[in-house]
Structure 1
Amino acid sequence: MCTTVQTSAHIRLQMVQCLGDIVTRHVTPGHTLIVSYNTPAHTLHFSAGQSINRNGRCFISDLHSAEDMVQLILEELNKMAARSLLSFDAKNDWKEMLPSGSKYEAYVLLSSRQDHEDVVKDIGHQVKKLRNTWEWNPRAKFVIFLIEIRHVNAKLLAEDISAELWTSRVVNSVVLIPALDTHMATHTVSILEAYVCLPYQLTAQCPEIKKAVLQDRWIFDSRNSSHFLHNTSLSPQKIPNGLHGCPLTVSTFQIPPMVMRKNTPEVDPKNVIYDKGLEIQILTELAKSTKSSLKFREGPSDNENYGIDLGNGTWSGVTGEIARSSADIGIGGIWYRCHLVKEIECLRPYLIDKARWYVPCARPHPRWMSLTRVFKLSLWTGFVTGYITISFIMWQVMKITSNISTEAAQNQAYASLAKCLLSFWAIILEQSASNNPPNVAAVRAVFLAWVLYCWAVNTVYQAHLTSFLIDPGLQNQLASEDELLNSGIECAAGTSALGLHPDLSGRRYRHLKYTDHFEDIEDRVANGTIAILSSMFFTEYVTAVKYIDADGRPIMCDIKEDFVPGIVTMFVPKGFPFKARYDKVLSSLVQSGLVNFWWENLKYTATLEKARDLNPPPGEYVALKIVHLQSAFYFLLLGYAISVPSFLLELSCQCRKKYEIKRIKSNRN
């Protein structure tokens, strides 16, 4: 059987006076005080987030109910000058009234529940409603005021309330519980007991963080005055300088080069270990600053590594685990997104990243084209045109010369167009032509002009031919986003990119595919079948590890246009008590150059590890092989393919001609 602790109206007024004293001492004038309750008020009706009229007064004839107590508290707090007051009924949803970026300095949470479990649930419900706002400030001062309770273990109740508040990272709290044993000494009555939370204290049950101690009592003495018994501070230092080895819970997943393992044994969900990577090195330094250890959670169970907005105010992945306070810190090369999630905060950024398009590198030109790629098509066209033109001119000069001359020409090598073409073709190939051209100045001038022209062209051609045989050059490389989108190649991006870059949902990127299987996509990029929008840091490292050829050149290329810049940070729940300290450590690491040093060292080490598997060509010279002369053999085979049928056709024609002559002779006979 439970006996309810009965308090007179006078005792209740003393309780209100205690609350007013705390507000006066600990809430800075000019700041906003939030009063939250979960009890329907019958005398006054306050809507969620409505400011109380200072001229409004609650006439309470007798204080016998919790509803009356709530009204009296609201009225007395509203009469305090130089402080804004907002009341909030937890049965409603919070309506944000202050501009974004402003913070509330203090919260008063009232509970009229009487049983232990009901009180804890009621406080948790109110906090859950209050934290669903951008102005939620878990670093504010919290006063938990229990109006009336049954016979309970006050210390245990205060610890459970503190633990419930800790899930929202509320530390600076005081729990006011009506004193069950009111008589302390002669003419002295204990009205309220004030308990404060002291997390991270040195205990044998680390990481148990809930610990409440009786800090003071509000009493009514023989002089008819009420005050705190010891008048000690209700906001002592609650976060120690060191955590005595208590672990920080880390939400992450394996993603090179940020979070890795030196070895890859089977992962034990109960003992997940990451011991390599840029963010692991940074996190180790952060843990040292607070003398804490690290405890890694298993990767997100929803298969969403970074996390996406599920559309109902919740997030998946690492972002969701931090928002739900399931972990103390979230890492994984995560871009800043604290402007999107109300329940998280971001530590000081330590890297400036960029999102770029990574496309297949340009493929080498086919080696069979090496013979023709020395000159452009326009030059080849001009050369062939000049060849035909000079042959025609030579033929015409010979005709005119023969008609004018009275002597018959001794050399008939240029007597027809076909013979001129053959002679000049021989000059092109640097072969011997007719060694006795007609002794005519005009003919020899044309011949000399063609020889000089072919000599110049051949010299340039042969000077560049060897280079093209060894290195045929690269085909056209995609160099802009417009070229990429117009090329028809398939494009992809990470699932979390859509939440960070709303432009991707536009018509321009309507064919973009989203995936979290980056390894498969990167393989396809290297094979030339897809392009991906990815982080510059991640892709540079992966390229150095996996995607370089025998000459040490990357086989995944980037478009030198930054799609969007981004800053890399770490997530913590809003109100994380070590944020300021960790920000200072990160600032020191960045300014000292350690972060950049660790990053360059990771890339250099990855390149050395990959170099063991490479077989670079010995020396700086390249020995010519059959593959280098591929184009020459192709043209040789093409020549054979044309000449052999031509020769056979000529033989066939000769045989047919002889047969016709023989048949005609036989007919005459």
Structure 2
Amino acid sequence: MTVGIMTERIAIYQSSHPVTMIPYTAVIIWLKMMFQVIFMLSSLSIILGQHIFNMPQTLKDLLGDFLQHLHEDFFPGCTIVIFYEPSNIYDFGGDQDKAHLRNNTDKGLIFNNYHDSNEGLLEFVLQYFEGIPSIIFSLTDDLHEVLTQTDINVITRCPLYLTLVPNIMAALGLFLMTNKDWDKYFLSRKQVIFTESSTKDIESFFQEGEINLMTNVLLIQPILQPLALRLLTNSPYSTSRNDRVKSLRTWRGQPMPTMHDLFPDKLVDLHGYPMKVVTFHFPPRIFMEEESDGSYNLYGVDIEVVRSLSSALNFTVSFTRPSDGEMWGWEQGNGTWTGLMGDLQHRRADIGVADLYIMEPYFAIIDMSVEYDIEYLCFVNPVAGPLPQWMALGLPFLVETWVAIFCTVLAGMLVFTLLAQLGFVGGNLREAPWFQSGGNTCLLLVACVMNTAWTRVPATTHLRVFLALWSLAFIILAVAYKGTLVSYLTVTLEQPPLDTHRQLLEKDVSVGSIGDTLKRIMEKNADQYVRKLAQRYEQVQSTSEGLQKTVAGSYSFLESRGFLDYTIAVDYTDQRGRASLHAMKEYIAPFGIGLAYPKYVPIVAKFDRMIRRLTEAGLAGKYMSDIILRRKQAKIGSTPLDGEGSRELASDVTETTTGVTPLSLDNLQGGFILLAIGYGLGLLSLAVEVVFALV
């Protein structure tokens, strides 16, 4: 084909320069044969591996048409980000720019106003992207520094990455960059790689680091005989080293394949890829029960979420504890984290799960999924305990009720005494002289208040009417008081717990949790009392340490309400159902709970879609209900404790069976206290009377 084209050009050249043909016929024939031999050798050298960037114009056109159709059909309006190897495309001759930007109006390259005058594949490709914003990076040693100084998300729109390398290993440094803050979606972006490398070299390329995690890679290999483009792609999360590259199709200029054909969804099936999940025992979210053989029986809401994703996307999971024995971990002075966060930060695990709150401070080191549940962060405090039983005497009525009764009794004494005295002044001699004493009349009214028999009966009608209504009123009050008093004597009344941040602030105790991440959350809280409590923050090493300090009364531990409610019910509640800790009703903030991943992994979006389906189906709530039922069944099936525990349990069963709880001295301490006060006042009065009698 090449020979025919060149022969035609020679013919055109001859027709435009007429000469005498007869004397030179043999020479012309000889020259034509020489040209044919030269071009046949040239074509053979291309077939044997001549550099593609010197390829015939027709193959360049085929590549240009493909890239142009690719952009126009699937990426209209998107920015083209091109990476190229300058030593194989341009001979800059000295210092050259590492990054260039084209726009719709200026064909020049903005950063250094560099204008290329050489012909090459890059310039040829750019002709097909005329008028389209393009960013050009050269694959040099300082590319990492250049990229970290470039904010792709600001200067691009839905970028399409195009890499032009004759040897794909020349782009290895680009794809192995662990710090992808310049574009955190790099591994999941649409990637088009044009290379001459063999399929074996491409397979070796995808065995390096995390390169095979990329989910949208399209490779283009040139085919010279006949002219065509071979389209290939990778198989991310493949467990076989020989199955990481597969052929899509061969393109010879026919209509473009669909987007799904070029960039298929490769995360529908992960082919049993082993995922390492880091977690730890944290009920009720996660239970790790050690078996007799040393293995762990894992279950819980968070564990079931991971297993559901594993079943839906066909990957295997292996659960492991944090490598350093910590729980979530905390940030150290050098910017690294310990515990679960540290394992994800250093990519020692693929997924992290342990009642993880979706919080801004975590995003500096990890990525997180959408929430599959919501939890509330609150403080736990010791239960104040029951009120002293002597206070039961005053509990049946509110304070204002007691004030009203006291004022009523005083007013009644004054009115009754006044009526009695007015009767004697009016000459009513039928009334007994006993009623002339104000002390006697007051004692009579007190007897009526106590529902005791009248010691004296007045003779006059107006005093009888007064006493009748007085007695009726206090019969009602006395019945109400007695009925309520019985309940307060038999059922212990607990002191009101701390339920607000203001009350906790007034208590003047230290607060805190594991690490100092929650401290930063408290410092930014809208509640002024929470911000003041953050000044008292003291971190602890574990939940058990925080709870022990809380029970001691010198600390208030901060954790999720679900964990606190479960822990209180299981570990801090006695046989009679009395809890020693109380989770506050007022909470700092609601937090979504999600999965954690190492930074920049491309599976996040796919997992998010599956998690949304899971939550919409209500599976997270079902998992929690199943866990609660399982724990209840385990508690019912457990045997009673020996020794003191069994005796307490037997006592509780006896009381429940008989339905009678005898009153103890503690229940009746109020009556005995009043009796002691009466004895004391009587003796004091006696002493006063004796002193005045002697005087």
Which residue of structure 2 lines up, in the alignment, with residue 283 of structure 1?
A: 306
Which whole-Å deviations, capped at 9, do the CAs of 1:157-198 have from their partners, x for residues lacking one? 6455323352683255478999xxxxx9xx989999998644
8 Å contact 2:375–2:592 — kept in the other structure?
yes
- Once the 2 structures are TM-superposed, how far is the Cα of residue 140 of structure 1 from its aligned partner? 2.8
Which residue of structure 2 lines up, in the alignment, with residue 606 of structure 1?
A: 631
8 Å contact 1:492–1:531 — kept in the other structure?
yes
In 2, Cα distance between the equivalents of 1:79 and 1:453?
A: 104
8 Å contact 1:54–1:78 — kept in the other structure?
no
Are residues 1:34 and 2:81 paired?
yes
- Once the 2 structures are TM-superposed, how far is the Cα of residue 368 of structure 1 from its aligned partner? 1.0
8 Å contact 1:489–1:530 — kept in the other structure?
yes
In 2, Cα distance between the equivalents of 1:541 and 1:245?
A: 35
1:552 to 1:469, Cα distance in 2 relative to 1, 3 A: same
In 1, Cα distance between the equivalents of 2:166 and 2:572?
A: 62
Structure with the largest fraction of helix: 2
2:677 alignment partner AA: L
- Report sequence identity in percent: 17
Secondary structure in structure 1 of the residue aligned to 2:595: strand
- Once the 2 structures are TM-superposed, how far is the Cα of residue 275 of structure 1 from its aligned partner? 1.4
- Once the 2 structures are TM-superposed, how far is the Cα of residue 371 of structure 1 from its aligned partner? 0.9
Which residue of structure 2 lines up, in the alignment, with residue 365 of structure 1?
A: 387
- Once the 2 structures are TM-superposed, how far is the Cα of residue 319 of structure 1 from its aligned partner? 4.5
- Once the 2 structures are TM-superposed, how far is the Cα of residue 542 of structure 1 from its aligned partner? 3.0
8 Å contact 1:348–1:583 — kept in the other structure?
yes
8 Å contact 1:370–1:465 — kept in the other structure?
yes
In 2, Cα distance between the equivalents of 1:347 and 1:406?
A: 94
Are residues 1:625 and 2:663 paired?
yes
- Once the 2 structures are TM-superposed, how far is the Cα of residue 73 of structure 1 from its aligned partner? 5.2
Q: 1:431 aligns with which of 430, 445, 452?
A: 452
1:566 to 1:101, Cα distance in 2 relative to 1, 3 A: farther
In 2, Cα distance between the equivalents of 1:427 and 1:277?
A: 65
Which residue of structure 2 lines up, in the alignment, with residue 590 of structure 1?
A: 615
In 2, Cα distance between the equivalents of 1:100 and 1:598?
A: 45
2:671 alignment partner AA: A
1:191 to 1:80, Cα distance in 2 relative to 1, 3 A: closer
1:48 to 1:343, Cα distance in 2 relative to 1, 3 A: farther
Which residue of structure 2 lines up, in the alignment, with residue 667 of structure 1?
A: none
8 Å contact 2:233–2:248 — kept in the other structure?
no
TM-score by length of 1: 0.72
Which residue of structure 2 lines up, in the alignment, with residue 181 of structure 1?
A: none
In 1, Cα distance between the equivalents of 2:499 and 2:156?
A: 41
In 2, Cα distance between the equivalents of 1:623 and 1:506?
A: 46
Are residues 1:539 and 2:564 paired?
yes
2:627 alignment partner AA: L
- Once the 2 structures are TM-superposed, how far is the Cα of residue 305 of structure 1 from its aligned partner? 0.5
Q: Superposed, which structure 2 residues align to 1:233-244 within 5 Å?
A: 239=266
In 1, Cα distance between the equivalents of 2:431 and 2:374?
A: 84
1:296 to 1:33, Cα distance in 2 relative to 1, 3 A: farther
1:90 alignment partner AA: H
Q: 2:677 aligns with which of 614, 625, 638?
A: 638
Q: 1:451 aligns with which of 471, 475, 479?
A: 471
Q: Superposed, which structure 2 residues align to 1:86-125 within 5 Å?
A: 86-88=135-137, 89-92=143-146, 93-99=148-154, 103-108=158-163, 122-123=173-174
8 Å contact 2:175–2:211 — kept in the other structure?
no
Q: 1:334 aligns with which of 351, 356, 361?
A: 356
In 2, Cα distance between the equivalents of 1:463 and 1:214?
A: 85
- Once the 2 structures are TM-superposed, how far is the Cα of residue 250 of structure 1 from its aligned partner? 1.0
Secondary structure in structure 2 of the residue aligned to 1:375: coil
1:635 alignment partner AA: L
In 1, Cα distance between the equivalents of 2:408 and 2:522?
A: 58
1:542 to 1:110, Cα distance in 2 relative to 1, 3 A: farther
Secondary structure in structure 1 of the residue aligned to 2:355: strand
2:449 alignment partner AA: I
Which whole-Å deviations, capped at 9, do the CAs of 1:125-152 have from their partners, x for residues lacking one? 6x335x21355331234456789x9xxx
Are residues 1:263 and 2:290 paired?
yes
Are residues 1:59 and 2:114 paired?
no
TM-score by length of 2: 0.69
Structure 2: any 5+ residue segments left out of the alignment?
Answer: 1-47, 110-114, 138-142, 641-648
In 2, Cα distance between the equivalents of 1:637 and 1:525?
A: 38
Q: 1:420 aligns with which of 441, 458, 465?
A: 441
Q: Superposed, which structure 2 residues align to 1:71-90 within 5 Å?
A: 72=120, 74-81=122-129, 83-88=132-137, 89-90=143-144
1:38 to 1:365, Cα distance in 2 relative to 1, 3 A: farther
Which whole-Å deviations, capped at 9, do the CAs of 1:404-432 have from their partners, x for residues lacking one? 548697543x3433333333333333334
In 2, Cα distance between the equivalents of 1:101 and 1:489?
A: 53
2:450 alignment partner AA: L
8 Å contact 1:395–1:420 — kept in the other structure?
yes
In 1, Cα distance between the equivalents of 2:631 and 2:366?
A: 34
Which whole-Å deviations, capped at 9, do the CAs of 1:85-112 have from their partners, x for residues lacking one? 2124433223214359954332427699
1:32 alignment partner AA: T
8 Å contact 1:259–1:274 — kept in the other structure?
no
1:594 alignment partner AA: L
RMSD: 5.1
In 2, Cα distance between the equivalents of 1:170 and 1:483?
A: 53
In 1, Cα distance between the equivalents of 2:242 and 2:331?
A: 32
Secondary structure in structure 1 of the residue aligned to 2:187: coil
Q: 1:569 aligns with which of 576, 581, 594?
A: 594
Which residue of structure 1 lines up, in the alignment, with residue 321 of structure 2?
A: 298
Q: 1:384 aligns with which of 406, 411, 429?
A: 406
1:236 to 1:467, Cα distance in 2 relative to 1, 3 A: closer
Which residue of structure 1 lines up, in the alignment, with residue 140 of structure 2?
A: none
In 1, Cα distance between the equivalents of 2:133 and 2:361?
A: 27
Secondary structure in structure 2 of the residue aligned to 1:163: coil
In 1, Cα distance between the equivalents of 2:437 and 2:609?
A: 92
In 2, Cα distance between the equivalents of 1:619 and 1:518?
A: 38
8 Å contact 2:52–2:166 — kept in the other structure?
no
Which whole-Å deviations, capped at 9, do the CAs of 1:621-665 have from their partners, x for residues lacking one? 552421332322232233334435555x369649x84xx8xxxxx
